[in-house]
Structure 1
Amino acid sequence: MFLTASLLILFIGAAVCMDELVGPSKEEGQTSELSAWLADWQWQTGLENLDAIKGSLTSLQMFAAYFDQTDSLYFTDSFHEALPEVLKLYEHSGLDHVYLTVVNDQFQPSGESVQKDPALITRLMGTVESRRKHADELIAAVEQYGFGGIELDYERVADEDWDNLLLFFSDLYPRLQEKGKSLRIVLETRAKIEELKLPEGPDYVMMAYNLYGSHSGPGPKADHAFIKELTSRMGSLPGQPYIAFSVGGFDWQEGGKAKALTEVQASILAKQTGSTIRRDEASGSVYFDYTAEDQVKHTVWYADEETLSQWIEVAGQAGYGKVAIWRLGEMQRSSLDLLKQHLK
């Protein structure tokens, strides 16, 4: 009897150690899910991509709600053009939800916009009354336009505003639930998620991009080490969070600014310039150099289907199989096929 018990203890100990080595199993981690964003300014080609992978996505996020100069929700003409087509495709897509994504970009009467404005969040979250008014407007919008829920993409939040924002999340979630609506919350990599007491209930989405971009010199939007570092932090998030990857890339002009490119645009540019495409081992991204007609040198980095495959695999090895893609529109067929295989 003593020998049997000892062997049992040894077996359990070995199983625990092995589990620590291999990380979370599929049963303990996330069930694979795939969601994607559709931006109002690129809805036509976005819908073409959506149609190519319908049946594979579990949800779609329509990135289309901003703010006007009075801190009220603002929708572009493109949104009103796209919405009927999006909802029409939704009926035959197999999607669980179509969310309305709200971002803290503010449009001025001149037509110019202030992107990711932290002062806007300060005003919206400042008082009980301002939070209630904002929640009322969000709920009215999802009901008016027929969305299944709200996704909040509030970025560059000031440290002193987080307590009020957390109160807002906690108040908004049950109100949406009463209406049969859902809440998703997008988090920047800079958010101090280990210190924030995020409420249970909403779905959380961690952005795994912007490692390099318009704010930096040339490089990949994400690499393996960056993804591993993020997934090591995501254990502090409630529920089963999504990890978001960004497709496309950037064209850096020597001594100038970076220009965003879709995957299709980057691929065409490489062919037009006769460039040699190379793959970065640390990120899986592809890159190439070329000299423009004005003799200015350029460097392009972007993600293709192999890049996405590697990013998804690295996240999956850490136990995170719920993936969000920023964004649909001018993705190559090979990348779309890769996403379709993600759920198989």
Structure 2
Amino acid sequence: MIVILCTGLVVIALVTALVLVLPALARPTLPFGVRVSAERVDDPAVIAARRSYARLTVAAGALVAVVTIPVLLVTRSAAGIGVTTSVLAVLDVLVFHRAHRMIRTAKLTGGWAAERRQGVAVDTTFRTDPVRVPWPWALPALAVVLLTAGIGWARYGTLPATLPPLFGYATEPARREPTTVLSAFQPVIFQLALILIVVAVVLVVLRARPDLDAARPKGSARRYRVYLRGMAVMSLLSAACLNLSLLLGALHLWEIVPPTIVWQVTVYAPLVVLVGGWVTWEIRVGQAGHRLPALPGEEQEDSGLGQRDDDHHWFLAGAVYVNRRDPALLVHDRLGSSSWTLNLGHPIAWLLLGVLAVALIVLAGLLLAGVV
């Protein structure tokens, strides 16, 4: 019980810390998903929104932590952690949206959008000379797959007649399934699928429209190239961490190691390293690489333009983008992290979402039928 309670409080503390850091990762000209000019970065309205956001985020975390203690003491189940964390996530989203509305209201009433002539920066070299996939960084993930497959192959002949199904990075000991090649090598299959998904995402993101600053086109283009390569490297290393956790989980599935608490913690250790690595990298580079060091002369660069003000195409505080006139399918979102969103004004976006929905329904049906 003490372990569950401590885990719940630690999760709440981590979520609160990540939410507090999120606004600092965004470009100074995109506070809480609202486009502002460089002259308005330190506007009193922006500062007030940041301070209010920080206070309310801490208050939400403290409130949920206080409620979590009796909830976990009564339920005595780890499922309570998911419930309280979900409540905290909803509160944090509402607090973020409140800060977004505060700045957007100040922008509209103060006429900030008319202070600079608007424009966009375009760098055609991202098409003629795109950032390449750093394939050598995929070798750690592939090495973990080969190691997992080798251990599984050596163990396969001595496996028991039934195995517990693999659920995420753990097994369900209450259920047993006949030992087959498919059930025994589930970790390897998941590892290969992870690598394919990560590589596909990297390929798409490297070809997505660059997020450049119209006020500093040359400097932002150079930084964005460095940022893209770093994002690709981090993504490939993420695949290695995820695969390593699957390898550790497979050792339990194949009954090579006993299901102790220490081992369960070890299974999730690479995921903790993964989250810590991403947060550290995000803090260092910032959204679209705006925190990267400037070369001589780049700090003084100013084209006189302001980035095109398209706030009316963004919804949910910069998470959802809808613009039928924009040919881009994938765009960098405004949340402040290394994430992209589909342009829901593009017809292909709805086709992709439809295919994903069908795939999820089929997978859910297979899970319910016990096929997967």
Q: TM-score range by the shorter chain?
A: under 0.3
Greater fraction of residues in helix:
2
TM-score (structure 1 length as normaliser): 0.22
User: Which of structures 1 and 2 has the bigger CA Rg?
Assistant: 2
Greater fraction of residues in strand:
1
